[in-house]
Amino acid sequence: MRRSFSYGDAVKLLGGDTGLVKLLDRVSAATVLATGGIDLLDARTEVVRVGKHLLSSLRDRVTGLHRVDRTRLLEAAHSILVVTSFFEALDEAGLPFRLRITKGEQVVLTGGTWSGSKRAVDLVELLSNTTVPVPSAELPPDAVIGDITAFYRFTAGEVVAFLAGFDAWDDLPPDERQRFVAAAQDVPVRAVSLYRARYRQLAVDCPEFAVWTSGIEHAATRAEVRTALEDMRGLLRRLAGAQPPDDRRAALARSYRAELDRPVVAGEVSSGLVLPALRQAYVAPRFMVAKADQGDDVSQDGWWSGVPVRADLDDYLAGYFTSSRATTAPLVVLGQPGAGKSLLTKMLAAQLPAEDFLPIRVVLRDVATDTTLQDQVEAAVTHATGERLTWPDLVRSAGPAIPVVLLDGFDELLQATGTSKSDYLARVREFQQREAAQGRAVIFVVTTRVAVANRARLAGSTVVLKLEPFADDQVRRWLDVWNTANPSATLSPEVALRFADLAGQPLLLFMLALYNAEGNALEAEGAELAKARLYERLLTRFARREVDKSLRDALDDQVDRAVEEELVRLSVVAFAMFNRGVQWIDETELDSDLNALLNPGARGVRDKLRLSSAQLAVGRFFFVHAARAAHDDQVSRTYEFLHATFGEYLVARLVHRVSLDVLAHVTRPRYGRQEIDTGWLEPVLSFAPLATRAPVVSFLRELFDDTPAADRTALYGLFTDLVDTVQHRPPGTGHPDYVPRPLPVARRIAACTANLVTLAVVVRGRLAEDDLRPTEWHALVLLWQSQLGGEESVRLTDVLDIERLRVNGQATLAVVLRKDRSPLPVDMAWLSDLGPDTQGAILPPLLDDFRRWETFRPTWSGGHALHTLEPLMANMGSAVNSFVPHQGEFHSLARLLLVVLVSSNPAERFAAYVTTLSALRNEAFRAGTAYSTLLFNALAADEVATVPLLREAVVAAPIARPRSMALNRCISRLYRETVAPEDVHQNFLRLPDKVDVEFMASGDEALLVALKNALFFTD
């Protein structure tokens, strides 16, 4: 948080040697007040006088100071501004009387106690210790003004309470007291007006005040897209001191600013293309920023819900780097791969003015990970300048400039080393505390991927900034730069924005521009280009470019074969991550997978000078990000796709290609069982369900939709046959070395069968249960439920759904892809095979079976349901397992009872009553005492109870329970509905002989008997 000063601290810090300071000294307060030197009126006047004096001389007081000292005084001045504005507004309102302080009140003013005091507030304490709101780059201007207004309202209330504690207050006429209270309520509005006016003047004298609010005041109306952080640099240069940087700072500044004129992306491009320079192509991204506390998981999207997206990065950073909060905790910058985190640190290093800042960019992948933070910073300085400097020497040479250490790639430190660095941010904060104690305050910025942000513990309150994808206007601005540099290879924003998930990430937008540069590929495809086809052409084009570099003058079929081999290797990389359930893979694991599938038998220690299989597979593709870290004289690497969709498409692509390959090599012997060599299909499908990534299934649908119909039919048969086959052997026996992660055989069979079922549904649209024979669908589902992880099971049900069918009168099912709909309600007719002519059924008892299995195989969902429903099931008798037709479906009597008890729909309740009462006439349904009591009590009190419905209840009662108070309540209701109100006997239930049952029965003999039986019974 930005430092918040109390008014007393702020006055002392700015050197206010006045009687006011003495008043704020609790030791001398009684003496000052008792001698008449300063009373409340004088204190009020002194506050205004001292405030105006200190604020008017502020520019002279801060000129030439170190950035940290200057910031501290400016924030103190803001506290004085807030309080001065309040007391000036109070002065305009006037006090209702001049204070006369009694001896007892003097005791209270010095902090003592006096039994005769009526004062509830200590104004001296208020001025001495209450902290004052300050502007913050994280808060919009309305929020800042809101905080200050709330402070003014609180203070005005305290002043009124302060005055009410004096005897003179009681002597005032009531209308005078009321007038002052009303005037005090207007003080906050006037104080805010004075605050705004003085703030604007301070912004002229000390530009930091303008910087602190310029972004948030104009962010909502700012339309232009800014580039290269030039606005941030311009704002900060207005604040820079006159002292030029020394040779060391100048050397660092030259090194970093040279980056601005280098290409925005390192690497080679096709002849004729021009890579724009960083200063031209860098577009400041949108972002969200918020304060996080220890224990917050900022890697979760839900944590950011409600945080507004902003487009004023220049203004925000200028405000942050001139705040005191920046020296107490690191600024953590989050972003997806390719979002521009590293580019942001390059821009900051180049654009922070060297007069006031000493930026040091530490690329964590290039420094040793097993050294101290200070060693890493010193190594980065040596790398940038070629000069060895110790940290203390460097900081001392900085003079008035404040060091800004930019730690780029914390996620690479985690991924490449595979070790826990959960205390890293805590160590950064400790470093800042140590340096501040030595008079060497330092600012830290740490960048990391969103996905691993929860791997670092936030040590206390920390500001976290999350980079967001480009908006449409930022895509247009970036393409303006590209199209200007490459007039013969332009990409229109309208075409790029058709692929918003790619265009929103700067590096992937660059990839789209490169792809389109060859023959206007995207422009020529039109608006209907399928997503899978786009990824296929993107990847093929880049693979062909790399192959062409090494296979010059090769035949076309040789090039095509080499391109396919490149894409297969990349697909193995994608499966290496997918089958381990991770977004990145380390080099050792990837080597193992590549060798197991592409080079079986390759083992042993690799020559350090020879590239690994992993390096050969991914080293040439910029859309695969390679993280590296050095430790123990070794370099560790991990690999990750810049966008998860690349990996998801490659997984689908390999499954599609391998499926067709297996189909082409199916052996069809003259006699005996068909032999199937599953090749790679079985091993790669036996570690994780494809459904865990919905885009993988979407890509598979597109790929198989483009497959000939005859092949799709054959593939359906292949997949359904394999469902049974793979259950009778350990999966992947043909490639025993391919083991991305150790799993029990049963779990691998579960994953493999789930994937085969998914593929069968994808290629045909539905999978009939009979096509799985001899495998039972229910057995498969139990296998998946028992073996797959909880998240895997949920994702499987997100992708697959069941259609309930009847074939030749028999209940069966088909597996289909889930559409956007909620799960269907339970169909008891289909589940219990109840025909349309069935009038009712009593199924086997449920409770004992439920209890037995939940005891034997405890589950959270089953235990939860049993815990909730057990009292109902235990007391409802056969109502739980008695089913009757109801509105075209079969419902249990217990369910119908719950409807009448809890439904808010009158029509729904009425229908449930009708069905239930009709069923109770059947002697086969013995619902039990508890059931009938609840039913009749509900009916007696329900607004939907009509005379025919009440008569039905009385007739049904002898079978349900002939004599009960609940039934008598229904009869009482019937009596009231059928007899004139003035004839209703007050003691209906106590004097049943007074009831004219013949009248109530209206000639219905069954009802007459039921009424007589019921009315002459009492509980």
DSSP string across 434-454: HHHHTT---EEEEEEEGGGGG
607 within domain boundaries: no
594 within domain boundaries: no
Following DSSP, what letter does each residue of 668-737 receive, concatenated? --SSSSPB---TTHHHHTSSS-GGGSHHHHHHHHHHHHTS-HHHHHHHHHHHHHHHHHGGGS-TTTT-TT
Task: Domain of residue 930: give its range.
Answer: 852-1016
Give me the pLDDT at residue 346, please: 94
621 within domain boundaries: no
324 within domain boundaries: yes
The 3-state DSSP class for residue 467 equals strand
Domain boundary among 468, 483, 511: 468
- 747, 787 in Cβ contact below 8 A? yes
Tokens of 695: 């885009």
User: Would you call 386 exposed, middle or buried from its count of C-beta atoms within 10 A (0-12, 13-18, 19+)?
Assistant: exposed
When divided into structural domains, the chain yields a total of 5
Same domain membership, residue 823 and residue 868: no
541 within domain boundaries: no
**In sequence order, which residues have a C-beta less than 8 Å from that of residue 274 and are 6 or more positions away?**
485, 486
**In sequence order, which residues have a C-beta less than 8 Å from that of residue 513 and are 6 or more positions away?**
479, 482, 486, 489, 491, 496
529 within domain boundaries: no
Q: Running along the chain, 1019 residues long, what does each successive block of 10 average in pLDDT?
A: 58 59 46 39 64 77 77 84 86 69 45 43 53 74 83 85 78 85 89 89 80 53 60 81 76 89 77 87 93 90 91 90 90 88 93 91 84 90 86 86 92 61 86 92 93 80 94 94 92 89 85 83 66 83 77 75 89 93 84 83 40 57 65 69 84 96 73 69 95 91 94 94 91 89 94 96 92 87 89 87 81 83 72 74 77 77 80 79 86 91 93 90 76 89 90 69 70 75 43 53 64 53
Same domain membership, residue 381 and residue 497: no
Give me the pLDDT at residue 345, please: 95
Q: What is the largest CA-CA distance in the chain?
A: 120
Could you tell me how far CA 18 lies from the centroid of its own chain? 53
How many CA atoms does the CB half-sphere of 337 hold within 13 Å? 20
Same domain membership, residue 487 and residue 452: no
Same domain membership, residue 460 and residue 475: no
601 within domain boundaries: no
Using only C-alpha atoms, the chain has a radius of gyration, in whole angstroms, of 39
From CA 56, how far away is CA 258, in angstroms rounded? 42
- 482, 442 in Cβ contact below 8 A? no
259: nearest Cα among 409, 359, 397, 376: 359
Same domain membership, residue 999 and residue 867: yes
Same domain membership, residue 195 and residue 123: yes
From CA 973, how far away is CA 916, in angstroms rounded? 19
Same domain membership, residue 159 and residue 97: yes
Same domain membership, residue 313 and residue 384: yes
Same domain membership, residue 1001 and residue 931: yes
Same domain membership, residue 1001 and residue 887: yes
- Give the CATH number, domain containing residue 347: 3.40.50.300
860 within domain boundaries: yes
Give me the pLDDT at residue 389, please: 86
Positive or negative, the CA dihedral 364, 370, 375, 378 is: negative
Same domain membership, residue 208 and residue 297: no
The 3-state DSSP class for residue 820 equals coil
Same domain membership, residue 489 and residue 448: no
